[in-house]
Each structure stands twice: as C-alpha cells, then as structure tokens.
Structure 1
Amino acid sequence: MLSLDIFSILTLLLSAKFVPTALSQSYAPNAQFKGKDFLGAFNWETFDDPTHGRVNFVNQGTALNTNLSYADDDVFIMRADYHQIVPSYARGRDSVRITSHDAWDESLLILDLAHMPEGCATWPAYWTASKNGPWPHGGEVDIIEGVNLNSNNLASLHTTPNCTMPQARNHTGQVISSNCDAAVNYNQGCGVASTTPNSYGSGFNNNGGGWIVTWRSSNAISHWFWPRNAPNVPNEIRQSESDCDPITPGDNWGTPDSTFVWSQCDYNPHFDPHQIIFDLTLCGDWAGNAFPTAGCGPGTCQDLVNNHPEAFQNAFWEINSLRIYTPQS
C-alpha cells in the first residue's frame, strides 16, 4: 500500500512540474515551407465545412485566380473573399482550407506568422490531425484557434475516450477544460487559453505577429508564443530559413504558454502521424453560436457573411515561414 501511495504522489508531481528541458533532445531540419513552397506541399480542400460554417472552400486554381491565395518567394497569403455579396442559395463565402501532403509524428513546428484572420464571424485555425483517422482517431492538436473578437489564443487537444489532463501543469496559460475526449461537452476538448498579450486577433496583427512553436513528443505537447517585438525570442527561433541548424526544444525558452502531459492519457493509442492544416471558416458551430454575445451586432452572423464583404478585409493569413524539425537518430 505504501509503495502505491508513493508512486501516485510521484506521478502527480511529475505531471504538475513537467519541465520540457528535462527530457529534450536534438531535433534536425526535416521540411521548410516559405512562399511558393506551400503551393506544392499542401492540398486545397473543397469539401463541405465539417463545422457547418457559412463558407465555400475553393480549390487551388480558383484561389490563385481570385487572389484568395497568393505566394511569392517570401510570403504566403490565404484569405476569405471580401468583394462579393453571397447569395442565399450559395454554400457560403469563398475561403481557403489547406492540408499538408506529408504527416509527422514527434516533431518541432516553428511558425513565423505575420497576420492571422481577424474580425466578427471569423473562425481561423492552425492545427494538426491524424492522416490515418478517421477523426478523432489519431488525435487533433489545435495550435491557433479563436473566434470573432477574441484576444487570447486557445490551444486544445481532441481525442478518442480515456484521455484527460491534470489541472496543475507547468505552463503560463489558463486551463479551460481538462477532458480531451471529443465525445464530451460537444467536442470542447482539453483547452488552455494563452495569457500572453497579443496572442490572437487584432492585437496579434497590430503587433506584427510573432512566432508560434509546437513541440510534440511522447513526453508532452507544448506550445510557446513570442510576439514580434519580444526581447527574449531565442536565436534559433528567430533565425532565417537558410540557417536551419539542429535545435534542442525548450532549452532557454522559458515556460510554455500551454503544456499537455500523459500522466492521465496514454500517448500512443491517442496520437499518430499528423498532417498540418490551416483554414478560415465563418460562423459555424463556434463562431456562429458565440456571435450574439461577441459584440458583433446588429444583425446575425449569416447576414454579416452574406451581405457585408467589407467586414472580411482583414480576414487573411500571412505566413513568413513554417519550419519542421524531427528527432535526430
């Protein structure tokens, strides 16, 4: 009985005091996407939005021809249309959803982001999800997500049953929910809201964006965010794509914005190799339901999407680069 009690106490302490640097290893460059690289490495999805948004995802050719997607040597942009009235019979306002061809398991993702979609009715997201599926098998990791006029980013996990998070973890964010099971609480997942200023929406954009880093391992999934003007951005995060040397995650990076640990969730049954996804949906299950209390009136979310294209002038992603590192053998 005594040994069991000690084991339980140690488990709780490890989950509450998990420090990423303690279990880190060196990660080597695996893939880099900048500007036109995105055009060949991602698929432009055209299916109906699974979150029931008032949105029409278009293919790559249409997106490029209508400037919903744009790439040169230095930048990649994808956006919602902000010119057309949307007829009531249409599927929704034109927008973009892209999914990487490749998938990664344990990895380090470094996103240098200049601008994210903002404004009423918007629901942008940058996340990873199982290539094998079907969802939620293999898990989902939400890295950037929010709706309407939110100012704090929400990072979450969505899984099959029997995956929960301890309340006490070594991160600076605020725990919003602890049950990762997608079948619980209308697929709320286990979420952590960032407490770092300018982590989402107009505040993020007005500050020039920043760096969002995700470290996924069999020990934990952790996220860091550094605003563009932060004095403590590590050199290996700020470095240019041409200087991609191996990186040791978490070394001198400070406390993560959010951390998810496996003391109450077996990693391998819940997570497998993930593709990377960016999208911008409008209204839908979250943004639409939250619209009436978001300070976005008068009118409805659907009315704004259909009849006010000017409202979506700032609804775009502007990506400087996405670097992916994997463990060195």
Structure 2
Amino acid sequence: MISSKLSVVLGLLALPCARATPYSMVYEYAGPSFFDGWDFYGNFDNLTNGDAIFVDSTQAEDLKLAYVNDAGNAIIKVDNVSTVAFNEKRNTIRINSKDHFDVGSVWITDMLHVPFGCSVWPAWWSQAPNWPVGGEIDTFEGVNQVTMNQMALHTEPGCTQASPVQSSTLVNSTDCSFQANSNQGCVVTTPSTQSYGEGFAQAGGGMFVTEYASTGISIWFFSRSSIPSSLQGNASSIDTSQLGTPVANWPTGGCNIGNFFKPQSLIFDITLCGDFAGNAATFSQTCSGTCYNDYVVGKGSTYDNAYFEVQYVRVYGANGQNTTISAAPMSISRPSTKAVAGVAAAAAALGLASW
C-alpha cells in the first residue's frame, strides 16, 4: 500500500513561541498508490443534480479517469474522449478519503492543474459523515470560466464568520448555515487569478493549506512561486504560525468549532452543470449557450482541461493528539442547493464579474 501512515508523535515539548502551532505528518497520499486511501462514489450525481456519473474504481481505471501518470502525479478527470448523446450523462470522478481527520488537523495539497471550462464544477473539500451535522469545509471550488477560487463553510444554523484575521477582503457572505441564502455558506473569494483555472495552470499550479483547529478554520493559498520554504520538499512537520496571514479565516468566536464540526473526510470531485455551474444566471456570466445541450452533449474534447493533477495530499496532526479516525464509515449526503443565487448576488455587490 503506497499511502503510508506515520505514527503521530506524542509527548513533544511545546515550542518556545506560545502561539506556535506545530503539526507532524500522519498520512500522505502520493505516488503509485495515491488512490489506495480513497473510496469512489460509484453512482450518478444525485447530490447536486449534475449531468455526471461518478464512476466506481474499476471503471475509473478502465476508462483512465483516475490514475497516476508517468511523473508520479494523480490525475482525476472528466471523460474527454466519449461522445455523449442527448439525455445521457458524462463520466467523471468523485472520491472521498477512507479516513476522517479530527480537530487538530492540517491538510495540504500541491497541484499542478485544476479543472476548468464551461459546465465544469470542481471542488477540493471535506465533510463530516452526516451532513449538515458536523459541517463542511470547502478549500477549493469554482464553476465554468471564473478566475478566482472560493472558500466556504457550510454548517447547521448558528455559525457565522466574525472578526476574521485574513488577507482576502472579498467576503461574499458571513452566515454559514445551510438554511441561509440557499445554502450559500459563509464564502470568501481568493483575491488572485492564479488560484483557479487557466491562471492556476500558467503559474505552475500551487498549494492549498487548510487548518482545522479548535481556535478556528483557516485556509492559505500559495501560487508556485510563493510557496514558503517550510512547505517545500518532504516536510514531515509544519508550523502554521510561520505561514503568514491566511487568505480566509473563520475564528471560533463566531463559530464554535467543537459544536459545529466533526471529523472530516477529504473529497475531490468534478461534476458538470448541476445546481451551481448549470444555474442559468451563473452560467451566463462566463459562458455562452446552454450548459447541458452545448457542452455535456457531444464530443469529449470540450473537457480537455477538466482535470486535477495532484502531486500529493498530506495530512498533519497536532503534536500530542491522535487526530486520525481510521477507515471511518461515510454516509454521503449533500443538499441540491449549493451556492446558486446567493453567490451571484453577493458577487455582483462586490463587483466580481466571475460571480
């Protein structure tokens, strides 16, 4: 099994800086066995009404939709070969980690390419087993031809973003409740066109860091040229206090992390159209025509850019804590109303053409 579990280091002394938050690597998804630690959804998209079929592991291998390339990187992609007839759906991938990761975890992914294009709705995110109980953390998400990544939390009512310490001033919404604003969530947009789509690829990709801590949830984004030296190479330990100001931050003051979040399963998925990308008002902002008829139907070459290329995913645990729940059962659930009208309205208020 290639994905190697490492023992959590126990009993380490605290670093001299009182605010330092040291973490040690507890799991790495990388190399030839990248996919060993994931479950494939194996069903049509009955979660967000996408025009997609999330294939199982056997189909993913046979169709070359999930594999490790010659460079040792994981490819997760939409079928860009088949011709899809009207009233049919296109094959794609959704995977979730077998293990769950509790408060006191950091997950890092280094990617060279992320999916983009009209009708494409990719995400790198996490959720607890019984959504919305236990919450959801969206680290990377976008639709169609937008140029900037969005980050969000989705929770039960009572969680808001209050007094964040973050570098992004593009706050789309602050109520994280799934019942508010058509489940828009509390959304922050990454103020960099290198964080999504073609701009991400042209910059050589980049790194997303998500800290799931009792003091709050924080997300950093580093384009390839700005990745800190402490995160380069085979970093077996990290200290988030050395990463600078996060792009997005949801402190526990507005949202009690212990009350609203439970152990998270990590997820990559790419769906097509659906409640967000296929929403007519959202789709027309960056694409012409009709989402399903003009893109999903027909030749697959439309989806030549609809893929993740992932160098690795690493999970770190707070020193002295066991934050990994091995092979936890996962009951997948997610409502069909995901950031549709609310995101478009908030974006318009901010003057963001992409939203």
What TM-score range do you get, normalising by the shorter chain?
Answer: 0.7 to 0.9
How far apart, in 1, do the equivalents of 2:291 and 2:307 lie?
A: 22
Normalising by structure 2, we get a TM-score of 0.81
Write out aligned runs for 1:196-275 (5 A). Answer: 196-230=192-226, 233-240=227-234, 244-251=235-242, 253-275=243-265
Q: How big is the shift at 1:191?
A: 0.7
SS at match of 2:31: coil
Write out aligned runs for 1:277-292 (5 A). Answer: 277-289=267-279, 290-292=281-283
Contact 1:221 1:261 (C-alpha < 8 Å) held by counterparts: yes
Q: Which amino acid aligns with 1:171?
A: Q
Contact 1:211 1:237 (C-alpha < 8 Å) held by counterparts: no
Q: Which amino acid aligns with 2:149?
A: N
Normalising by structure 1, we get a TM-score of 0.87
Change (3 A) 1:161 1:77: same
Change (3 A) 1:300 1:78: closer
1:122 aligns with 2:120: yes
When the two chains are superposed, the root-mean-square deviation of aligned CA atoms in Å is 1.6
Report the equivalent of 1:6: none
How far apart, in 2, do the equivalents of 1:218 and 1:274 lie?
A: 14
Q: How big is the shift at 1:303?
A: 3.0
SS at match of 2:156: coil
Report the equivalent of 1:98: 95
Contact 1:128 1:276 (C-alpha < 8 Å) held by counterparts: yes
Q: Which runs of 5+ in 2 are unaligned?
A: 1-16, 321-355
1:180 aligns with 2:176: yes
1:153 to 149, 169, 185: 149
How far apart, in 1, do the equivalents of 2:210 and 2:290 lie?
A: 38
Q: Which amino acid aligns with 1:77?
A: I
Contact 1:170 1:255 (C-alpha < 8 Å) held by counterparts: yes
How far apart, in 2, do the equivalents of 1:39 and 1:315 lie?
A: 19
Change (3 A) 1:43 1:127: same
Contact 1:86 1:305 (C-alpha < 8 Å) held by counterparts: yes
Change (3 A) 1:312 1:63: same
Deviations 1:112-171 (A, max 9, x none): 11100011100000001003x1x11100000000000111110000001111112x4221
Q: Which amino acid aligns with 1:161?
A: P
Tell me which stretches of 4 or more aligned residues in structure 1 moved more than 6 Å: none
Report the equivalent of 1:61: 58
1:296 to 278, 287, 290: 287
Contact 2:37 2:97 (C-alpha < 8 Å) held by counterparts: yes
Q: How big is the shift at 1:298?
A: 3.0
Contact 2:19 2:241 (C-alpha < 8 Å) held by counterparts: no
1:138 aligns with 2:134: yes
SS at match of 1:99: strand
Change (3 A) 1:34 1:111: same
Identity of aligned residues (%): 34
Contact 2:97 2:265 (C-alpha < 8 Å) held by counterparts: yes
Report the equivalent of 2:190: 194
Report the equivalent of 1:317: 308
